[in-house]
Structure 1
Amino acid sequence: MAKIFLIEDDEIVAEMVGAAFFDAGHTFGWIGDSSQAIEVIRDRKPDAIILDQRMPGVPGMELLRDLRRNAFTTLVPVMMLSAVSSDNDKAIAFYEGADDYMVKPFDPEEVVFRTEELLGRSRRVLAG
């Protein structure tokens, strides 16, 4: 069981993803306001983060940069979940530190599967 945070402004997406993670036995939290995300993440460090690229307030890419610059969150796996599907946007996300990138529309079960894969890789790296 892992603690997963979704940073997403769309409540319907949050409900779909949350249900899939609960069904898979994970703890799930939804942060609907990107400007509060860093504070919440610092208070309750997640095992993985799923991050929308385009949100009102702090854009997802800026939030990703902040996560990677912070020693507390630099190793937390981050998956971008975005309606933006251009190769250039994906390349920028990976350059900025994303560990995976999925495009909307999506299959919630695939989001869970790919997040679990990221968690497995992260644990292997930390175990050294």
Structure 2
Amino acid sequence: MARIIYVEDDPLMGEVVQEILTQAGHLIGIVPHGTLAFETIVFKKPELILLDQKLPGMQGMEILRALRRLPDLYLTPIIMLTARAGDDSRDDALVAGANDYLVKPFDPAELVRRVGLVLEQTAFTRQPRGAK
């Protein structure tokens, strides 16, 4: 189980993703505004962030870049979950520090699989020093 923040301004999409990931055993909160999401992420320090690209306030790429500059959140896994399907958008997000990139609409099983993989891949780097 992971604590996840999903930054998404479409309420229906937020509900769909929340339901899928809750059924997979995760706790998920939805924040519909980019600037508020950034502040919430900094305060709550989730174990995973799902980030839409087009948002009111800060855009998804702005949030991604800002989070990668913060020592406390530098290693927090981020999956871009967006309608932008082009290779350029995907490449830009991965270069900026996204751990994965999933295009909407998506297969629910694929979302669960990708979340699990990213959490598994980043589990070691997120452990506090001295943890065993």
| Category of TM-score, reference length = shorter chain | over 0.9
For 1:20, what is the secondary structure of its paired residue?
Answer: helix
Report Cα offsets for 1:33-69 as digits up to 9, x if no partner: 1111121112211100000011122110011001100
For structure 2, which runs of at least 5 residues remain unmatched after alignment?
none
Equivalence map 1:10-49=2 (5 Å): 10-49=10-49
| Identical aligned residues as a percent | 41
Report Cα offsets for 1:92-126 as digits up to 9, x if no partner: 10110010001111123321220111010111334
The answer as to 2:114 corresponding to 1:100 is no
For 2:124, what is the secondary structure of its paired residue?
Answer: helix
For structure 1, which runs of at least 5 residues remain unmatched after alignment?
none
| 2:4 and 2:26 in contact (8 A); partners too | yes
- Matched length: 128
The answer as to 2:114 corresponding to 1:114 is yes
TM normalised by structure 1 equals 0.94
Following the alignment from structure 2 to structure 1, what is the Cα–Cα distance between the partners of residues 57 and 125? Answer: 33
TM normalised by structure 2 equals 0.91
